[in-house]
């Protein structure tokens, strides 16, 4: 097992900047996820670790050994591709056994040993009965598991998984996710896992990195990423519904600092919070503009006024989910989502009913505006 370290890595595809001066460390034995939207550069990072894409500048280390100039087969990594990349002229068995037979690793397994290992990993992923088939005869989800099996069969320095369960159906996704976590814990492997699905990243990772346009916005444990996003982008990417972001201004009234967005939306904020707000606020047209972020479960709704600091908004929509409901309110340029538990009062809510809302002061964050927020 190895630690993977990026030092000021930059990658250009022609003139397009894919990775921008990126430095991070995936620690030894760690399940490290890279989360980001399409085009953030996640797969590029994996390809550079594997050695199939060269870096434009910067250094990549495995355990303090510079690997920039090592070809892929000298790096001892294994990788599951998003596009599967199965060898179509081999059976599923041969596909999975292919890395074991590589002269490079000098495994020299007997036929029985090889069979044992292939069957073990195949049954682990539930594809045992497919071993004699050709990849062409498999469904997308089956191909994905074969590709995953091929990546997991060997014990390399680092496992690189690129969206390895993205094309599985929901049930299988959950099952495979559990298996992957079990596999990682059991063997204490270094895993670098790329996904665009925040749930996978939160569920599996020891630590995770949120990537945007080739730069990271935050690296941390899933708890840190979810509960204390450092940037508005992280809050919007992680969570369903995404973290509420409200653009407004800071104003002073009677020595108190207030956050105001539109006519009705006005809350007093505590002094220590105000300091953090002023730090990121920007002065535009004589206004101190700032973005307020709060998770939907940190807003308390009520039929009556809850405190001096609460305010009223008309209900825009109500969506009932299995164990909770999400009530939405329309703001000037975005929607405000509030999650409520099973409560008869809220069940009876109708559109345009007025509801009192109270923000939990210690769960409010202030951000610099780094992305466009829209109603969609």
Partner 1 sequence: MIKKKITNEEIGFWIVTIIVLIVVLGPLLWIYLTAFKSASDIFSGSLSKQILFTPTLENFKRLFTEYPFFASLFNTIIISVVSTILVMVISLPAAYSFARWDTGGGHLLFVTISTRMFPGVVAALPFFLLFRNIGLLDTHIGLILLHMYFNVSFATFLLYGFFKDVPVELEQAALIDGYGRIDILRRIVFPLVLPGIAITSAFCMIWSWNEFLFAFLFTRDIARPMTVLISSFWGSIEVQYGTMAAGVAIAILPILIVAWVMQRYIIRGLTFGAVKG
C-beta of 99 vs 126, nearer to partner 1: 99
**Minimum separation from the CB atom of position 324 to partner 1 (A):** 42
**Minimum separation from the CB atom of position 129 to partner 1 (A):** 18
C-beta of 11 vs 154, nearer to partner 1: 154
**Minimum separation from the CB atom of position 202 to partner 1 (A):** 28
Q: What is the DSSP letter of 63?
A: T
C-beta of 37 vs 72, nearer to partner 1: 72
Q: Would you tell me which residues interact with partner 1 (CB under 8 A)?
A: 47, 50-52, 71-73, 76-79, 81, 83-89, 98-99, 102-105, 134-136, 143, 150, 154
Three-state DSSP class for 139? coil
CB 290, CB 370: distance < 8 Å: no
- Which of 146, 158, 136 lies closest to 63, judged by CA? 158
C-beta of 135 vs 164, nearer to partner 1: 135
What are the C-alpha distances in Å from 80 to residues 66, 147, 335?
A: 23, 6, 38
Cβ neighbours of 201 (radius 10 Å): 27
C-beta of 114 vs 232, nearer to partner 1: 114
- Which of 13, 8, 4 lies closest to 39, judged by CA? 13
Backbone φ, ψ for residue 125 (5° rounding)? -100, 5
**Minimum separation from the CB atom of position 326 to partner 1 (A):** 41
Q: How far apart are CA 234 and CA 96, in angstroms?
A: 37
**Minimum separation from the CB atom of position 118 to partner 1 (A):** 14
Adjacency order of strands within the sheet including 311-320: 299-302, 354-359, 311-320, 325-330, 335-340
C-beta of 142 vs 310, nearer to partner 1: 142
**Minimum separation from the CB atom of position 150 to partner 1 (A):** 7
C-beta of 81 vs 265, nearer to partner 1: 81
C-beta of 142 vs 177, nearer to partner 1: 142
Backbone φ, ψ for residue 134 (5° rounding)? -95, 150
**Minimum separation from the CB atom of position 19 to partner 1 (A):** 18
**Minimum separation from the CB atom of position 169 to partner 1 (A):** 20
Structure tokens at 227: 């509960």
Which residues, including other chains, have CB under 8 Å from residue 158's CB and lie 6 or more apart?
1, 2, 4, 26, 49, 62, 76, 77, 78, 190, 191, 192
Phi/psi region, residue 329 (left: phi>0; alpha: psi -120 to 50; beta: rest), is: beta
CB 77, CB 191: distance < 8 Å: no
**Minimum separation from the CB atom of position 194 to partner 1 (A):** 15
Instruction: Judge if the upstream peptide bond of residue 118 is cis by omega within 30 degrees of 0.
Output: no
C-beta of 168 vs 231, nearer to partner 1: 168
C-beta of 35 vs 138, nearer to partner 1: 138
The H-assigned helical ranges of 129-264 are 140-152, 170-187, 198-204, 222-227, 232-237
**Minimum separation from the CB atom of position 251 to partner 1 (A):** 56
Structure tokens at 78: 């294994």
Print burial letters for 237-270: b (CB count within 10 Å at least 16), e (below 16): bbbebbbbbbbbbbeeeeeebbbebeeebebbbe
CB 272, CB 366: distance < 8 Å: no
């Amino acid at each position: 097992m190895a630690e993977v370290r990026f030092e000021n890595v930059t990658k250009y595809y022609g003139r397009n900047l894919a990775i921008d001066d990126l430095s991070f460390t995936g620690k030894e034995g760690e399940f490290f996820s890279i989360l980001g939207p399409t085009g953030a550069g996640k797969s590029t990072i994996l390809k550079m670790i594997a050695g199939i894409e060269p870096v434009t500048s910067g250094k990549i280390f495995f355990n303090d050994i510079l690997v920039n100039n090592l070809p892929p087969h000298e790096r001892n990594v294994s990788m599951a591709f998003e596009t599967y990349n199965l060898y179509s002229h081999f059976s599923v068995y041969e596909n999975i056994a292919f890395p074991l037979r590589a002269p490079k690793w000098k495994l020299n397994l007997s036929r029985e040993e090889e069979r044992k290992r292939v069957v073990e990993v195949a049954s682990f992923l539930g594809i045992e009965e497919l071993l004699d088939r050709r990849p062409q005869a498999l469904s997308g989800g089956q191909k994905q598991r074969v590709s995953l099996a091929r990546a997991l069969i060997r014990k390399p320095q680092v496992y690189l998984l690129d969206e390895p369960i993205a094309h599985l159906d929901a049930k299988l996704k959950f099952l495979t996710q559990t298996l992957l976590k079990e596999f990682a814990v059991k063997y204490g492997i270094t895993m670098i896992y790329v996904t665009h699905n925040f749930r996978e990243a939160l569920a599996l990772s020891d630590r995770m990195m949120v990537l945007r346009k080739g730069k990271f916005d935050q690296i941390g444990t899933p708890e840190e990423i979810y509960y204390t996003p450092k940037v508005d982008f992280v809050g919007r990417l992680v969570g369903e519904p995404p973290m509420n972001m409200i653009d407004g201004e800071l104003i002073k009234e009677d020595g108190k600092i207030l956050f105001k967005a539109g006519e009705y939306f006005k809350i007093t904020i505590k002094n220590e919070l105000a300091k953090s707000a002023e730090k990121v606020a920007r002065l535009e047209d004589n206004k101190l503009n700032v973005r307020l972020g709060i998770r939907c479960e940190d807003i308390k709704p009520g039929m009556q006024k809850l405190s001096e600091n609460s305010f009223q908004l008309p209900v825009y929509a109500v969506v009932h989910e299995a164990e909770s409901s999400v009530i939405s309110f329309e703001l000037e340029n975005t929607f405000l989502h509030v999650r409520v538990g099973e409560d008869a009062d809220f069940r009876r809510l109708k559109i345009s009913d007025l509801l009192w809302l109270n923000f939990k002061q210690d769960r409010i964050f202030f951000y610099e505006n780094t992305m466009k927020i829209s109603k969609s």
